[in-house]
Amino acid sequence: MTLYNEDIATIYYSYLTAIFALEESLPIKALLIKNPQSDTVIIFRKKKNGGAIKTRRFVLDKAERVFFMNSISHDFPHLPMEVLESEKA
């Protein structure tokens, strides 16, 4: 598979699902922070057999965020998602 012409959101999502598979972890919550310039998505995950909660942060522009969040909500329909709006500086 070549990633040369792929969108960055696709690469981030492939990376995220690879982490889930390699670490045998599951997402427990998604947090979207809407900023004026770009958006930040934080995924909280935990191993299937317990353990500490880990996070992974992705910084995306508005168009990439839509694809990324739609992919997450499609693959994990019961995942709680929270949206925070940041104030303009």
Quick check: 55 and 42 in contact, CB under 8 A?
A: yes
What is the per-residue pLDDT for 37? 86
Q: Which residues contact 45 (CB under 8 A, 6 or more apart)?
A: 19, 20, 23, 25, 26, 27, 28, 53, 54, 55, 56
Do 19 and 25 touch, CB atoms closer than 8 A? yes
Q: What is the pLDDT of residue 49?
A: 86
Q: What is the pTM of this model?
A: 0.85
Residue 58 pLDDT = 94
What are the pLDDT tens digits along the chain (89 aa)? 566 677 888 889 999 999 999 999 999 999 999 988 889 999 999 998 888 899 999 999 988 888 999 999 999 999 999 999 987 64
